Amino acid sequence: MPIDFELSEGSLLAKEHFHRIAEEQMRPVSRKYDLAEHHLPTEWVDYWWQIGRKGPKKKAPGDGFVTICLQAEELCWGDAGLYLRMPTPALGGSAVSAAGTQEQKERFMAPFGAEGGHPIWGAMAITEPQAGSDAAAIETTAELDPETDEWILNGTKIFCTAGEGASTVDGGFVVVWATIDKSAGRGGIKSFVVPANTPGMELIGCEKKLGIRASDTATLRLENCRVPRENLLGSERVSKKKEPSASGSGDKGFKGAMATFDASRPIVAAMATGVGRASLDFLKEELERQGVRIRYDAPPRELTAIERDVMEMEAELQAARLLTWRAAWMMNKGKPNNLEASMAKAKAGLAVTKITQKAVQLLGPLGHSKKLLVEKWMRDAKINDIYEGTQQINQLIVARRILDYPSSMLR
């Protein structure tokens, strides 16, 4: 089935709506919360909870997951850190949607759509001090207490995006990855929903970061933290079989948890595209102000170095965007998109890093100055090449899927 790259009326309305929010609500406070790291951006959070999340007043059918990616691009054009600080289900919600039952989706996701109330957050806790890109190396444990029918979680999680709000504000939740059987390797990895303020889950602190400083990136400690048995996402069954191939069946619990990335990586790719576009838009405006016009109709031999750089930046950005839309479109159609999601994430992470660095370079001292946001966009860009799977990990996944190799054969 061919992919139609024409956006629906609903998606175009959403794009316009979220761009206006980015321009009017996010850009004016972008520098303020870049400097005021670990301070809750109250005016932005309250605005989003009351107004922004409701979408455009005029309703029309959208493009599903493609529209979600459009939202991410537009709002990260405004500010990527503030986007990550929005009171939403975020990565925790992606995990519940990917691996949870209908009952779990209704129980944990409903508060985010409720009218009134107060802002709430969702988060996902995967990374540990000794387990980063290799999620199968997780050492946080979950043990079932048969007397109370509860899971007991113990371990430490680091770099949890939105972890502060999700762990401390009532109504929110953290999806924690833990092993129920270390001898089973990745077959023993499961994900558990831990509601905010559950006894035994403690917020240790938040990271001081290079970029996306408006967002909270938390360290959480789980010490005899108990959650109901029904808070496990997916099956309790443990499979100790080796994966037969990169496209083999494997264990449903671990694969269900990993399926979260198939949904989250296109969103991260869209976020990267938004940051890259912010830099490129400003660069082109400044060049035009200085009398430099990009001659798209000129023969290649007549182009200046700056014109070639801008055209290459535009091509990189568009390639990342189209790969993102392809992965999102496949999600809409219920098609497996593991390969496409990793391709989009890898391309976008690399593209936004190059685009923002080039923008700073071409603008010279102006690009390096904190009087403008260009240097901030360069700092915000790099994380897109790291979280949700590093550039190297996503390239490995792409190679494994194309070659149909298991992880044991291609590391």
- CATH number, domain containing residue 384: 1.20.140.10
Based on the fold, state whether residues 197 and 145 are members of the same structural domain. Answer: yes
**CB neighbour class for 184 (10 Å; exposed up to 12, middle 13-18, buried from 19):** middle
Based on the fold, state whether residues 36 and 143 are members of the same structural domain. Answer: no
- pLDDT, residue 253, reads 58
**Crossing angle of helices 374-381 and 252-289, rounded to 10°:** 160
Based on the fold, state whether residues 22 and 125 are members of the same structural domain. Answer: no
The answer to whether residue 365 is domain-embedded is yes
Based on the fold, state whether residues 228 and 307 are members of the same structural domain. Answer: no
The answer to whether residue 1 is domain-embedded is no
What tokens appear for 316 in the block? Answer: 């990189």
The answer to whether residue 241 is domain-embedded is yes
Based on the fold, state whether residues 235 and 137 are members of the same structural domain. Answer: yes
Question: What positions carry a catalytic annotation?
Answer: 388
Based on the fold, state whether residues 132 and 66 are members of the same structural domain. Answer: no
The answer to whether residue 59 is domain-embedded is yes
Based on the fold, state whether residues 216 and 271 are members of the same structural domain. Answer: no
Domain boundary among 104, 137, 162: 104
What is the residue range of 210's domain? Answer: 118-247
Domain boundary among 228, 247, 266: 247
Choose among 83, 64, 63: nearest CA to 73: 83
Based on the fold, state whether residues 291 and 331 are members of the same structural domain. Answer: yes
The answer to whether residue 224 is domain-embedded is yes
Listed as ranges, residues in the chain with pLDDT below 50 are 243-251
Based on the fold, state whether residues 386 and 312 are members of the same structural domain. Answer: yes
Instruction: Report the CATH number at residue 243.
Output: 2.40.110.10
Based on the fold, state whether residues 219 and 191 are members of the same structural domain. Answer: yes
- pLDDT, residue 242, reads 52
The answer to whether residue 2 is domain-embedded is no
How many distinct structural domains can be found in the chain? 3
The answer to whether residue 56 is domain-embedded is yes
Domain boundary among 247, 282, 305: 247
The DSSP string of 194-255 is: EETT-TTEEEEEE---SS-TTS-EEEEEEEEEEEEGGGEES------PPP-STTS---HHHH
Based on the fold, state whether residues 68 and 207 are members of the same structural domain. Answer: no
The answer to whether residue 110 is domain-embedded is no
Based on the fold, state whether residues 261 and 391 are members of the same structural domain. Answer: yes
